[in-house]
Amino acid sequence: MPQVISLIGTSNSGKTTLLEKLIPQIISHGFRVGVLKHHTHEFTFDIPGKDTWRHKQAGAEVVVLATPYGIGLVKDIKKELSIDNLIRQYYQDVDIVITEGYKNGPYPKIEVYRANNHKPPLSGRDESWIAFAADKPIDTQLPVLDINDVSSLATFIISNFFTPQL
C-alpha cells in the first residue's frame, strides 16, 4: 500500500495551489504520486449533453470513459467509501497518495495556513498533525514549513515517509 499524507486546512487556505506545486517536486525525486480529493457535495461527471453524462442520466450505475491515455469512472455508491478502501481499489501503482481534505481521517496531516485567509488554524489537533505549511510563524510545537518553499516541503515529506535508498 502506498504512503498516505493529508493536506488539510480551512477553505481558501491554498491547499490545491500548494498541491499543484508539490506534486512535481515529489515526482522529481522519482516517486509516483496519486491524489485523492475529498469533496462533501454532490459529484457530477462530464459536461451535460455529452455521451457519458447522458449514460449516467439514463440510469447507468457505473460509467467509465476509457481512452488510450487514461480512464474516468463514475459509480453510484450507497455510502461514502473509506480512504483505505479507495486506496486499495485505485492507487496500487503509486508510491504516495496525497489527500486534499479528510481532516478527520487517520493519516498524517500537514495543515496549510495562510494569514491573509483571516481564519485561525483548525481546532481539534491530535497526534496525526505532523506539521504546518504556513506563510507566517505559528505558535505550535510542530514544524512550521514555509508554504512558499515547496522544495523543502517535498524534502520533509520524503524524509519522513520513505527510507533512503542505500
Domains observed in the chain:
3-40+80-161 (3.40.50.300)
Predicted TM-score (pTM) of the model is 0.88
Q: Give the type of residue at 54.
A: R
> Which pLDDT score is estimated for 42?
67
Instruction: Name which of 121, 124, 116 is nearest 132 in CA terms.
Output: 121
Give the pLDDT confidence of 2-60 residue by residue, as tens digits.
999 999 999 889 999 999 999 999 999 999 999 999 876 666 667 788 898 899 889 99
| Residue for grid cell 463514475 | 74
pLDDT-based confidence at residue 166 (cuts at 50, 70, 90): very low
Residues 6+ away with beta carbon under 8 Å from 48 = none
| Burial of 121 (C-beta count, 10 Å sphere; 0-12/13-18/19+) | middle
Rounded to an integer, the average pLDDT of 124-142 is 93
Cell digits of residue 70: 487514461
